[in-house]
Amino acid sequence: MNATIAIPFILGWVAGTLVNYLSDVLPATRRLSSLVCNHCSAQRTWFDYLLPKRCASCGQARGKRTWIVFIGGIMATVAIWLYPPKDLGFWIGYILLTYFAVVFVIDVEHRLILHPVSYFGVILGLAIGIKYHGIVGSLLGGALGFGIMFALYYFGVLFARWMSKRRGETVIEEGDALGFGDVNLAGVLGLILGMELIWITVLFAILAGGVVSLVLVLGMLVLKRYNAFTAIPYAPFLILSAVYILYF
C-alpha cells in the first residue's frame, strides 16, 4: 500500500516539473527549448527542475510559483488517484489536468494563451472528445464554444472602441478584457465537453469572472485607482469551470 500511494506523489512531482518548464520556456521562445535560468540565462539541467536548485551560475533561487505548482500538482494527482473522475478515469484526468495547469499558469503570469498551447489543446481535445462524444459531437461542441466566446470577444472590441471614442483615447489592445486566446481555449474546451456541457462551462466562467471583476472594481474605487480598461486573465475562470464539471 505504501509503495502504491507513492505513485501519485511521483506523478504529481513530474507533472509539476513539466508545468514549470513549459511555463518558463513557452512565453519566452514559443517552442520547446533548452532549460535556462530566468535570471541570468545560464544553462540548466532537468535535474535542476526535478529538484529545484539554485542556479549554479548566479545563485538565484526558484520563485514561489515553482513550489506552488509542485504542491498543487501533488495534491491534485493524489486526489484523482484516490477518487478518479467517473468518466475520464485517472490517466486522462491526469494528462488533462496537467494541460490545464500550463494554460492557467501562463495566462496568470503573462495574460497569454499561446498558439502552441492552443494547437496541442485541439489535438488533446479531439482525442478526448471523440472518445466520449463521437467526432460530430466533439466538433459541434468545439464550434459552439468557439462561437460563444468569439461573439463575446467581438462585443468587447466594439465596446472598447466606443469607450475610447467617448474618452478621446486610443485603445492599444482591442478586446483587452477578453483576448482571442480565450476564444481558442473555449473551442478546445468545447471539443472535450461536447455541446451539452460547453455552454454551462462558459456560463459558469462568465458568472465567476463577473463576480471577481466586480470585487476588483469596488476595490479600485475604494483605493481611488479605478481604470476602465483594467483587464484580468480570463482563462483561469474557463479552466476552473471546466474542472468543476469534469471532475466534480
Q: How does pLDDT run across 128-163, given as a tens digit for each residue?
A: 999 999 999 999 999 999 999 999 888 877 776 776
Q: How does pLDDT run across 181-222, given as a tens digit for each residue?
A: 999 999 999 999 999 999 999 999 999 988 887 887 787 777
For residue 168, give the C-alpha cell: 478621446
The pTM assigned to this predicted structure is 0.88
Name the CA radius of gyration of the chain, rounded.
20
22-56: buried (b, 16+ CB within 10 Å) or exposed (e) per residue?
bbbbbeeeeeeeeebbeeeeeebeeebbeeeeebe
Q: What is the mean pLDDT of residues 29-48?
A: 81
How buried is residue 149: exposed, middle or buried, by Cβ count under 10 Å (0-12/13-18/19+)? buried
CA distance 38 to 183: 30
Average pLDDT, the chain: 87
CA distance 86 to 128: 14
For residue 45, give the C-alpha cell: 539541467
pLDDT at 1: 47
Measure CA of the first residue to CA of the last residue in the chain; give whole Å: 26
Q: Is the pLDDT of residue 172 over 70?
A: no
* Backbone torsions φ then ψ of 229, nearest 5 degrees: -105, 20
